[in-house]
């Protein structure tokens, strides 16, 4: 199989709301989300032959759970020699003022 960049990743609001609520209920006090600015995402996607982004779970030097974003080629290989991102802004502390994905 190879990636095209057109894979269907659609999720409904009802599914996303239920899934995020289940995560929050099973992981009280944990980070709920991470924000990445469009410049970081666009820099990854703008790389030659990049068809998407893979997100790795990781633990940083402060023993905090984080996400590492890396570009991916159609042959499913990571573009680890290119632009990658981490340093997401987590919730908490920077949470949306109102969102069904973060309430309850």
pLDDT digits (tens, 9 = 90+) for 44-103: 999 999 999 999 999 999 998 899 999 999 999 999 999 999 988 888 888 888 888 988
Is residue 53 within 8 A of residue 83, CB to CB? The reply is: no
Could you tell me if residue 4 is inside a domain? no
User: Is 22 a member of any domain?
Assistant: yes
Q: In this structure, is residue 99 part of a structural domain?
A: no
For residue 104, is it within any domain? Answer: no
Is 74 inside any structural domain?
A: yes
Asked whether residue 5 is assigned to any structural domain, the reply reads no
54 domain-assigned: yes
Asked, for residue 97, whether it belongs to a domain, the answer is no
Q: Which residue has the tokens 């009280």?
A: 28
State the residue range of the domain holding 43: 13-91
Residues 74 and 50: their CA atoms lie apart, in Å, by 7
What total number of domains does the chain contain?
1
What pTM value is reported for the model? 0.85
């Amino acid at each position: 199989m190879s990636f095209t960049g057109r894979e269907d990743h659609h999720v409904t609001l009802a599914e996303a709301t239920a899934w995020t609520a289940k995560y929050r209920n099973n992981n009280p006090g944990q980070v709920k989300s991470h924000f990445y600015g469009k410049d970081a995402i666009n820099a990854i996607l703008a790389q030659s032959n990049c068809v998407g982004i893979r997100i790795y779970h990781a633990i940083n030097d402060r023993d905090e759970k984080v996400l590492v974003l890396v570009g991916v080629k159609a042959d499913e290989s990571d573009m680890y020699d290119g632009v990658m991102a981490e340093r997401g802004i987590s919730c908490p502390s920077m949470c949306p003022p109102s969102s069904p994905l973060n309430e309850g």
